[in-house]
């Protein structure tokens, strides 16, 4: 379990950071992303939070809640409800209620409950660690900070303190970009995100491990204002008439266009599929110079905020800036960097992680609060006024959240059971030949799965169907295995008979060989007898010759 946990809720994205292994790590969500979109969507069967809500935004815009940190703790009268696709009503206490359709009925949630749902998701990313430090914009009132803490309590977290975004950035810089030997210096820090601009001037005293914020200013302007500015420009230029969904689609495309304009000064194309109608796309072009001319009023407001910060700091003390550090995604706009250089007379730097600087600073602050953690440098950020309140968790909201969590878990389990059944059917079918007995069982189950009853079946029914298929497959495999064994036994018996026949044939051949050898012996005996007869005849002839010779000798004597 994580000891030093920090959660940075941005208006566009949220980050979960933890102190692990002597360093700071940004924890990944279930999609292996470092950033989790700050969105909560409601559907008929379950809630979708984070990446899922963002991915399905244009298919469910009336039930997807965004701008959570902008709306949190605001009175209904200060909100332009018509600019949002989801329905907003005034709560009995004058706050905000969002009206959505969930679990087949209309339901109402206040913004604290919606933020608690996002916290529940982020707590899951943190593997259910609860002790944490939270961040908030520096312009937040105590009422908004209390709502932030209440949302964390509803989600089951234990927020130790709430610090401002800029306090976290200053702490991050002081810890990693200064050493104990450095002399005191004054730094300006700028955080320009999706919905707001924050700027501070701080005096860093590394030898004393302190950082004092001497001036702070904010302006309710962010990257989304530039996106809407571009969208309104194209609508006016091309005389477009768009519904709310098409307008939001154009704004999302303009956000990507803005990024391309920040990286390229030449003319950039814009293409939005099926914007005007299902069969009609939208195409246009714009260059950076035109964009900067359109946004000159916004740039002026940004410049004024920087000047107010600098003037407020100089009213406190005389100083000379040593540097300007920028964080936040909207600082990537080239014109913003030029304005910073013009106002502060220093080239801005980005030595900190632009998107994660706040979350990392919160981890450092959490480490100083946690009794089980020892940090190398216990840097104090003075003038930041960290907020903590001994609030009691709203039990009714906590009960509702637990009910929704339980329902979401059941829906996830049901979906997994259905997917397991479907995956097994397709996997098994791919290995079976046509006409196989078990293949018909799979086809019947697949037809049931996509029938009305199968679509609405429970987790238990899916699990039962899968078990039945596996049991049937085991029986068929067992029968096939037994038949295979019998066939193998018959083949072995046939082989043994063939072997015995082979041995008999070998015996016959051997007998034939022996008979042949006997005949050869008889022939040899016959030949020997003939030779003996010839020798006898020869001996008789010799005897006759000898007898005749003897007679001749006798006659000679006479």
Any alpha helices (H) in 430-458, and if so which ranges? 437-449, 452-455
> Residue 381 contacts by C-beta under 8 Å, 6 or more apart in sequence?
163, 167, 170, 171, 174, 202, 210, 211, 212, 213, 365
Predicted confidence (pLDDT) per residue in 312-358, tens digit: 999 999 999 999 999 999 999 999 999 999 999 999 999 999 999 99
* Mean of pLDDT over the chain: 89
The C-alpha atoms of residue 88 and residue 364 are separated, in whole angstroms, by 38
- Find the mean pLDDT for residues 263-269: 93
CB 350 within 8 Å of CB 189: no
Gap between the Cα atoms of 270 and 255, Å rounded: 11
Report the Cα 549 to chain-centroid distance in Å. 132
The residue to which tokens 């440098």 are assigned: 377
**422 touches 428 (CB < 8 A):** no
**Domain 400-478 CATH class label:** mainly alpha
Domain 4-222+295-393 bears CATH identifier 3.30.420.40 = yes
Per-residue pLDDT for 501 more than 80? no
**Which pLDDT tens digit goes with each residue over 199-255?**
999 999 999 999 999 999 999 999 999 999 999 999 999 999 999 999 999 999 999
Instruction: Using the predicted structure, report yes or no on whether residue 530 has a pLDDT greater than 60.
Output: no
CA atoms of 412 and 462, how far apart (whole Å): 13
Q: Using the predicted structure, report yes or no on whether residue 279 has a pLDDT greater than 90.
A: no
Distance CA 85, CA 63 (A): 8
Looking at residue 388, its pLDDT comes to 75
pLDDT at 558: 40
What is residue 332's predicted lDDT score, i.e. its pLDDT? 94
Q: What's the pLDDT score for residue 459?
A: 92
How many Cα atoms sit within 13 Å of 56 on the Cβ side?
15
CB within 8 Å of 325: residues ≥ 6 apart: 169, 173, 187, 188, 189, 190, 348, 349, 350, 351, 352
User: How many Cβ atoms sit within 10 Å of the Cβ of residue 557?
Assistant: 5
The structural domains of the chain, with segments of one domain joined by +, span: 4-222+295-393, 400-478
DSSP string, 91-155: -TTSSEEEEEEETTEEEEEEHHHHHHHHHHHHHHHTTT--EEEEEE-TT--HHHHHHHHHHHHHT
pLDDT over 70 for what percent of the chain?
Answer: 87
pLDDT, tens digit, for every residue of 98-118?
999 999 899 999 999 999 999
Least-confidence region, from 141-155, 203-217, 506-520: 506-520
Residue range 356-371, pLDDT digits in tens: 999 999 999 999 888 7
Helices 244-263 and 223-238: angle between axes, nearest 10 degrees: 110
The DSSP line for 198-238 is EEEEEEEEGGGTEEEEEEEEEES--HHHHHHHHHHHHHHHH
Q: Which residue has the higher pLDDT, 293 or 541?
A: 293
Question: Residue 502: pLDDT band by 50, 70, 90 thresholds?
Answer: low
Spatial separation of the C-alpha atoms in residues 82 and 79, rounded to whole Å:
9
d(CA 459, CA 442): 19
| Per-residue confidence (pLDDT) for residue 513, from 0 to 100 | 72
| DSSP classification of residue 382 | E
Is the model's pLDDT at 20 over the cut of 90? no
Within 10 A of 150 (CB to CB), how many other CB atoms are there? 23
**pLDDT tens, position by position, 399-437:** 999 999 998 999 889 999 999 999 998 988 888 887 777
pLDDT per residue as tens digits for the range 66-79: 999 999 999 999 99
Question: Tens digits of per-residue pLDDT, 167-186?
Answer: 999 999 999 999 999 999 99
pLDDT in tens, 28-66: 999 999 999 999 999 988 999 999 999 999 999 999 999
User: Is pLDDT above 90 for 480?
Assistant: no
- Give pLDDT, residue 401: 93
* pLDDT at residue 65 in the model: 98
Q: Where are the alpha helices (DSSP H) in 317-394?
A: 334-344, 357-369
Residue 552 has pLDDT above 90, yes or no: no
Q: Which residues pair with 349 in a beta bridge?
A: 325
Rounded mean pLDDT, 520-547? 63
pLDDT at 554 over 60: no
pTM to 2 decimals? 0.82
Q: What is the DSSP string of 14-58?
A: EEEEEEETTEEEEPP-TTS-S-EE--EEE-SS-EEETHHHHHTGG
Helix (H, G, I), strand (E, B) or coil at 286: strand
């Amino acid at each position: 379990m994580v000891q030093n946990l920090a959660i940075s809720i941005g208006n566009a994205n949220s980050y979960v950071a933890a102190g692990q292994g002597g360093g700071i790590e940004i924890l990944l969500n279930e999609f292996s992303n470092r950033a989790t979109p700050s969105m909560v969507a409601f559907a008929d069967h379950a809630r979708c939070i984070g990446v899922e809500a963002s991915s399905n935004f244009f298919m469910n815009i009336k039930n997807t809640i965004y701008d959570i940190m902008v709306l949190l703790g605001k009175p209904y009268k200060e909100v332009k409800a018509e600019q949002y696709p989801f329905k907003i009503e005034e709560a009995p206490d004058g706050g905000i209620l969002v009206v959505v359709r969930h679990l087949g009925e209309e339901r109402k949630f206040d913004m604290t409950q919606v933020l608690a749902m996002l916290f529940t998701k982020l707590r899951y990313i943190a593997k259910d660690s609860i002790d944490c430090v939270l961040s908030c914009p520096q312009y937040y009132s105590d009422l908004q900070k209390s709502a932030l803490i209440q949302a964390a309590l509803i989600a089951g977290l234990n927020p130790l303190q709430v610090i401002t975004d800029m306090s976290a950035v200053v702490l991050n810089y002081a810890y990693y970009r200064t050493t104990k030997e450095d002399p005191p210096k004054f730094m300006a820090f700028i955080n320009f995100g999706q919905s707001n601009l924050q700027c501070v001037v701080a005096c860093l005293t590394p030898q004393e491990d302190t950082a004092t914020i001497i001036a702070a200013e904010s302006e309710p302007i962010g990257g989304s204002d530039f996106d809407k500015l571009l969208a309104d420009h194209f609508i006016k230029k091309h005389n477009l008439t768009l519904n709310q969904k098409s307008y939001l689609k154009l704004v999302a495309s303009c956000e990507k266009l803005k990024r391309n304009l920040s990286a390229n000064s030449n003319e950039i194309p814009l293409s939005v599929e099926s914007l005007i109608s299902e069969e009609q796309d939208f195409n246009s072009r714009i260059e950076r110079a035109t964009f900067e001319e359109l946004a000159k009023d916004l740039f002026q407001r940004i410049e004024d905020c920087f000047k107010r910060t600098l003037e407020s700091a100089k009213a406190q003390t005389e100083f000379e800036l040593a540097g300007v550090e920028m964080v936040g995604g909207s600082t990537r706009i080239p014109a913003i960097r030029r304005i910073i250089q013009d106002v502060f007379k220093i080239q801005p730097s980005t030595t900190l992680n632009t998107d994660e600087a706040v979350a990392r600073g919160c981890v450092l602050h959490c480490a100083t609060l946690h009794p089980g953690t020892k940090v190398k440098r216990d840097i104090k950020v003075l003038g930041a006024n960290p907020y903590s309140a001994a609030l009691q968790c709203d039990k009714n909201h906590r009960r509702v959240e637990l009910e929704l969590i339980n329902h979401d878990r059941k829906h996830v389990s049901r979906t997994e059971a259905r997917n397991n059944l479907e995956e097994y059917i397709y996997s098994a079918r791919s290995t079976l030949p046509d006409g196989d007995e078990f293949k018909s069982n799979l086809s019947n189950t697949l037809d049931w799965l996509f029938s009305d009853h199968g679509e609405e079946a429970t987790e238990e029914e899916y699990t039962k169907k899968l078990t039945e298929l596996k049991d049937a497959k085991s029986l068929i495999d067992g029968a096939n295995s037994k038949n295979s064994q019998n066939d193998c036994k018959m083949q072995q018996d046939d082989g043994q008979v063939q072997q015995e026949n082979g041995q008999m044939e070998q015996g016959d051949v051997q007998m034939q060989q022996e008979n042949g050898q006997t005949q050869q012996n008889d022939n040899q005996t016959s030949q020997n007898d003939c030779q003996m007869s010839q020798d006898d005849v020869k001996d008789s002839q010799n005897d006759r010759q000898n007898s005749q010779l003897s007679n001749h000798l006798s006659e000679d004597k006479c």
